[in-house]
Structure 1
Amino acid sequence: MKAREQFRAGKNFKLRDESADDRPLRNGDNGESKSAIKQEERELTLQLTDRIAVLQEMLYARRQRKVLLVLQGMDTSGKDGTITALFNRINPMGLRAVGFKVPSPAELAHDFLWRIHYHVPVGGEIVIFNRSHYEDVLITVVQGLIDDKECKRRYQHILDFERMLVETGTIIVKVFLHISKEEQRERLQARLDDPEKQWKFDANDLVQRKKWNDYQQAYQRAIVATDTDHAPWYVIPANSKTHRNLLVSTLLLEIMEDLALSYPDPDPGLSKLKVE
């Protein structure tokens, strides 16, 4: 089964805590130690990302197609780690990562998609959104900043926006990194316990954690409402960091291979040139 079929959310998607532990690319552990399994998954991910790097160079050379990778997930789900694992071996030319924080006063004065549209990829680019326009139908809902009518209106705006991007040459890959509540607890505690990671800790994470169930409902609702054939959602079990990276790299490579990318044909006049 192709990764796009295996991880596709679909209209019957149900968000379940226990599925965050799934490791769909492993057929049992064959008695291997956890460290051996993780090392194997790292090596497989490197092989896939090396291939992605070649395809990204072809994408950049032609400057025609565009790829937008949207990463969403609860706090500590691994958005930063996924970006590092997938793209640390790729030529930064033609690659951008954009993190969306709390909107500024100027951004709030515009429609919610205004700040998003500025950052979408141009021809030849891969752009990664670390959080995205979906925050405006997630945190705004959980915090009670918009009502149900406005939320549904924003879903429609998102559908129209994404359709426009696809129709103008953008491949949209929307990934939800799914972790369990217990896994989040362990990761937040690890940040508190490690002096070198305490800078990542935000006390507000504990406030938001109390609304875990509300966020799960908001995610499930948003994913079902905005999963389309041209801009589907993929749900990646993310309790295992190494398996998460393997899954996302497998998915992205499959999608990029289907673009049938190649280097541009050389100028016929080049065969007559000689470097003195």
Structure 2
Amino acid sequence: MSIHDIDFIKASCGLGDYLLLRSALTAEQLEGFAFQDLAQRLCSRRLGVGADGVIAFTRRSGISPSIHTASTRFTPDVVPVDALFCSARFLFDSGEYGVKPFTLQSKGRIFTVESVDSQNFRLEVPSPTNAGQLPDWHTPLQREQHLDQVVVPWETPQALWTQFTPSPDAQSLRRSARLSAANHPARPIVLFSVAQKDLISAWVRLSSWVDHSSAASAVALSAHLDGLSSDEVLVSLNDQPFFVQISFPGPRIWVTAPVRYLFQGLYAPDTSFFA
């Protein structure tokens, strides 16, 4: 079943951008090829609107709204946290949830959302794992030797590495991240420096898809467990702010981040018109 005449909003969290469908889709459309085909058409940055993914919603009375994602950049089993943030603002703006915490569900998992204000939202996010294990205070972080560098491996919605570097300024950090990406194309490597206990500067070269909210969580965990930062820290990742709070045991991680609306548009079978 084809999908046409789709009204959408393009939103971003960090540098992750998603197309939020205002139009309701049927179960047949969501479960079949049509939804994936729509994502392929819309998400192309050369031939389509350009986005990391498409998000659709299903709602039933008394049940948390369900989020459905489709993308050519990540697999169907992945739940991008950036997409959850974008969805949180979209649902908050619908006027159904007010200022009280509400829940979202995706891929059988429940996520709790709080609105800090109309553009900033707080979510408890899944903890990244370190070499397949949940990190804790009693076990040193597992590290890997990759080529000439020692890095910390993390599994978030995608595999990535973090590495502390005492870069003196943001420009040096950005330059180092660019060189690291050229030398380590296998997965994203997030370089970070700690200006003070509650402020981390981080940079990742965007040569592939990155879930920025999860990457910020991994950076905060890496810095905290190595004694470089406190359990509440502002991570500036590629100049985008993520306030991360960490609690042990668990760990439990809460991230607060802003969501911006970029534009809205209408998708038709042969063309798209943007407002």
TM-score in same-fold range (> 0.5): no
So what's the TM-score if we normalise by structure 2? 0.26
More helix by share: 1
So what's the TM-score if we normalise by structure 1? 0.26
Higher RCO (CA < 8 A, seq sep 6+): 1
More strand by share: 2
Q: Which has the larger radius of gyration?
A: 1
